[in-house]
Amino acid sequence: MILAQSQILQCYNNFEVNEMKPITKKILQDTIRIRPTQSFKGTYGKIALIGGNQNFGGAIIMSSLGAVYAGVGLTTTITDSSNQSSLHNWVPEAMYLDYHDEPAVKALIANMDVINIGSGLGTDEKSLSLLKTVFASVSPTQILVVDGSAIDLIASNNLSLPKTKLIFTPHQMEWQKLSGVKIKDQNENTNLAAYNNLFKQQGSIVVVKSHRTQVLTPTGSFVNTVGTPAQATGGMGDTLAGIIGGFVAQFENTENAVLAAVYTHSAIADELAKKQYVVLPHQISEALPQFMKKNEA
Nearer to a second copy, 7 or 86 (CB): 86
| Contact call for residue 110 and a second copy (CB under 8 A) | no
Q: 207 forms bridges with which residues in the sheet? A: 215
Closest CA to 290 of 39, 26, 62, 32: 32
Is 41 one of the binding residues for a second copy (CB under 8 A)? yes
The correct pick among 26, 187, 220, 296 for binding a second copy (CB under 8 A) is 296
- The residue within the footprint of a second copy, chosen from 23, 48, 56, 180 (CB under 8 A), is 56
Binding segment (CB under 8 A) for a second copy, from list 8-16, 132-140, 145-153, 274-282: 274-282
The C-alpha atoms of residue 173 and residue 171 are separated, in whole angstroms, by 6
Identified binder of a second copy from the candidate list 5, 18, 29, 55, rule CB under 8 A: 55
CA 72 to chain centre: 14
Piece in contact with a second copy (CB under 8 A), picked from 123-131, 132-140, 213-221, 284-292? 284-292
Contacting a second copy (CB under 8 A), which of 11, 23, 31, 69? 69
User: Alpha-carbon Rg of the chain, whole angstroms?
Assistant: 18
Per CB under 8 A, contacts with a second copy among 222-241 are 228-230, 232-236
69 vs 273: CA distance, rounded Å: 20
Residue 91 in the binding site for a second copy (CB under 8 A): yes
Sites for a second copy among residues 162-221 (CB under 8 A):
171-172, 210-211
59 is in an annotated binding site: yes
Q: Which window, 37-45, 138-146, 160-168, 253-261, contacts a second copy (CB under 8 A)?
A: 37-45
- Within 8 A by CB and 6+ apart from 161, the residues are 1, 135, 154, 202, 204
Compare residues 59 and 117 and give the one whose CB is closer to a second copy: 59
Nearest to 207 by CA among 263, 272, 164, 152: 263
Among 155, 241, 279, 284, binds a second copy (CB under 8 A): 279
Compare residues 81 and 219 and give the one whose CB is closer to a second copy.
81
Number of residues that bind a second copy (CB under 8 A): 73
Under the criterion CB under 8 A, does residue 18 sit at the interface with a second copy?
Answer: no
Q: Which stretch binds a second copy (CB under 8 A): 87-95, 123-131, 198-206, 214-222?
A: 87-95
Closest to a second copy by CB, 163 or 211? 211
CA–CA separation, 45 and 216 (whole Å): 24
Q: Is 85 in the site for a second copy (CB under 8 A)?
A: yes
